[in-house]
Structure 1
Amino acid sequence: MRDTAKHQGLRNQLVSLLQQKGIQDINVLKAMQLIPRHFFLESGFEDFAYQDKAFPIGAGQTISQPYTVAFQSQLLEVKTDDKILEIGTGSGYQTAVLCKMGAKVFTIERQIDLYKKTSKLLPKLGFKPKVISFGDGYKGLVTDAPFDGIIVTAGAPYIPQPLMAQLKIGGRLVIPVGEDKQIMTLLIRKTETHFEQHEFGDFRFVPMLEDKNR
């Protein structure tokens, strides 16, 4: 895998586009300027890696479009050494962005093939999440909670209670909620029992797999 001056030039163009679309968080933009997105795609998509589009990555899943990655990352307001739980490792690109932003990342993937592939790819590229686990995102990671932020990268039909419970007071949960299309939702935990909720318009994600034991 090679990262060339051409790739860097395309990333610079992508970052300019993201800024035009309203992404202002310097840490998000810098991370996306540095990370070779084409490393996270099948070779056949390499020439399209820096378009603002989602692409299939196998197992019925997709790598989110760069704007969506940037938008969710910006909503998290990541600070260095924040503990961030990611639900849906997927290709590992969002994971890499969070690592590059200085977060301590704990990430869960439900698709075994993607888990096996990405758990090898991320360290190979120099990205070292604290935990990459195969498991049920609806349950979160109780043993590593609480988290400063939680990001869900699949469309959830509802907001899972375990994820809310695993958020620190002052922490932020970014989750797309809905069936056919999703509303990007931000929950900020104000107290043990009170969450402030904000909504940021429609997005489209692959569905988050429903746990049988809801």
Structure 2
Amino acid sequence: MGVKDSYKHKGMRRSLVRILREKGIVNEGVLEAIGTVPRHVFFDEIFDSHAYQDKAFPIAEGQTISQPYTVAFQSDLLDVKPGAKILEVGTGSGYQCCILLELGADVVTIEYKEKLSMLAKQMLGKMGYHAHFLVGDGSNGYPQLGPYDGIIVTAGAPIRAIDPLVKQLKVGGKLIIPVGDLKSQKMLRISKISEQQIVQEEFNNFAFVPLLGDNGWKN
């Protein structure tokens, strides 16, 4: 790994994993991934102490690196199996992508903002992670590389974003998407049981940055 990862950082990650356990995350694979990925590399060094707090933090382009609990919660709902092809809508910092890669996924990640995609690709390369990076309108998904075993959306979406993404799932696949308005969203897990049967489950409320694009909130 071509980044600085000290004993202090590893200790801070262990503390973060304990906090996530206390908050109800029990998926050992997800907790191990959180305990492995050096989240501090996505922060300027002066903000090092914030890296393993369970909170979101501003990054470039008016976006945020998601709260670790949110990353863990979505990853748990997605139930990634090794070798699964996952579409991530909203690359952002690249942190969620790292967690998916640690879980053994083959990740296609699409980002609306070119600068963010470029920065994430560079950072993950330094860390030794490899994903398929795309720049474009993730609210449309990316059918060219589908179908997918799972799709995870890391921005708050209107309800119209669901249908085009579900169409890109394999039978047996899952879509994890926060749906609501610009202030608050409810986390949904949508499972594609067959081409005709879709099951939707509702979970906690979250607050994400808005999904931009044709099926998102217009930029």
What's the TM-score once normalised by structure 2's chain length?
Answer: 0.94
Displacement of 1:194 in angstroms is 1.8
SS at match of 1:95: helix
Other-structure match for 1:113: 115
Is 2:27 aligned against 1:50? Answer: no
Other-structure match for 1:168: 170
Displacement of 1:212 in angstroms is 7.5
Deviations 1:95-122 (A, max 9, x none): 0000011000000000111011111111
Other-structure match for 2:39: 37
Contact 2:138 2:213 in 1 (8 A): no
Deviations 1:145-181 (A, max 9, x none): 1111100000001233221100011101000001110
Deviations 1:64-122 (A, max 9, x none): 00000000000000010000100000000000000011000000000111011111111
Letter in 1 for 2:23: K
CA distance in 2 between counterparts of 1:212 and 1:185 reads 17
Other-structure match for 1:186: 189
CA distance in 2 between counterparts of 1:212 and 1:98 reads 24
Letter in 2 for 1:195: I
Gaps of 5+ in 2: none
Contact 1:42 1:57 in 2 (8 A): no
What's the TM-score once normalised by structure 1's chain length?
Answer: 0.96
The share of aligned pairs that are identical, in percent, is 50
CA distance in 2 between counterparts of 1:23 and 1:168 reads 27
RMSD: 1.4
Gaps of 5+ in 1: none
